[in-house]
Amino acid sequence: MNWTTGTLAFAAGLIISVVTTPVGVSGAVFLLPVQVSVLGVPSPAVTPTNLLFNVVAVPGALLRHRRDGNLRGPLTRLMLAGTVPGVVIGAVIRVFAVPSPSVFRLLVAAFLLPLGGWLCVRARRPGRHHTGAEPAPRSILALALTVGVVGGIYGIGGGSLLSPILVNRGLPVATVTPAALASTFVTSLAGAASFALLAMTAPGDIAPDWFVGLACGLGGLCGGYLGTRLQPRLPETGLRLLLGILAIGVGSLYVVQAALA
């Protein structure tokens, strides 16, 4: 147990959550590169460690929505029906198909580069949204399953991916946000548990780094609260542009590193 690492992990979770919460982006998306490149969490243990961050960081926001009575609904159940089995499938793929750090860096880059481009576009055209017919339950279930698999491989709960897609398809933000948070929490819990069980049957660094994950999660819990309180005072457009450029830069760096490995 290294308290310097713990302090860095807490600070990383805090700072990232303060910046990402106001723009509706999961802190886990940007925390994973920090765990890989700064905190030195080995592969594939970095994925469940990132999921553990969500397990600790999300409940504060969940409690707020629970008091408002927005967590129980058909959309929440539908999303969970897809993301929970999806994250288990993603965990198995991560352990047995992409355990190599170089391959995983390419997967991270493949996720960060389009995310960065989307954030930059949203920063320049924040008011443009696609609003069509609401998606059918079968489409939401299929999308949730796909997002769950991605979450199990990358180490995010999946709700942060589903939320903007469903909102752009015409679902109200007030309905999507609590459902996405519930999906992120339960899916992250299921994913972390899946990796812990896989660690008993497969060799290598598979189990989450509990110390780093909990420290990051506590920082994220505090940072999410601060980010919510500071949201009216922060320049959302500037933050989106900053995060977009950062995602593109980190993704490009990982492509170069993987090519040179």
Question: Angle, nearest 10°, between helix axes 137-154 and 159-168?
Answer: 150
Residue 132: the pLDDT is: 56
Q: Is the pLDDT at 261 greater than 80, yes or no? A: no
Asked whether the CA dihedral 112, 117, 121, 124 is positive or negative, the reply is positive
Residues 8, 241: Cα–Cα separation, whole Å: 25
Tokens 């949204």 belong to residue: 129
Q: Is the pLDDT at 217 greater than 80, yes or no? A: yes
Task: Give residue 74's identity as a one-letter amino acid code.
Answer: P
Q: Is the pLDDT at 131 greater than 70, yes or no? A: no
Residue 126: the pLDDT is: 59
Residue 84: the pLDDT is: 94
Q: Say if residues 165 and 114 touch (Cβ distance below 8 Å).
A: no
Where does the pLDDT of residue 127 fall: very low under 50, low under 70, confident under 90, or very high at 90 and above? low
Q: Pick the closest to residue 195 from 49, 29, 80, 32 (CA basis).
A: 49
Q: Pick the closest to residue 4 from 211, 226, 208 (CA basis).
A: 211
Residue range 160-178: average pLDDT? 77
Neighbours of 228 (CB within 10 A): 16
* Most confident option among 114-128, 142-156, 174-188: 142-156
Q: Is the pLDDT at 30 greater than 90, yes or no? A: no
Residues 175, 214: Cα–Cα separation, whole Å: 29
pLDDT one-digit tens code per residue, 78-90: 999 999 999 999 9
Residue 224: the pLDDT is: 83
Contact residues for 26 (Cβ-Cβ < 8 A; gap 6+): 20, 54, 156, 157, 159, 160, 184
Q: Is the pLDDT at 258 greater than 80, yes or no? A: no
pLDDT averaged over every residue in the chain: 84
> What's the token pair of residue 236?
């959302």
Is the entire prediction scored with pTM above 0.75?
A: yes
Residue 20: the pLDDT is: 83
What's the count of helices (H) and strands (E) in the chain, helices before strands?
Answer: 11, 0
Domain ranges for the chain, please list them: 3-260
Residues 80, 21: Cα–Cα separation, whole Å: 22
Residue 59: the pLDDT is: 83
Measured between its terminal Cα atoms, the distance across the chain in Å is: 30
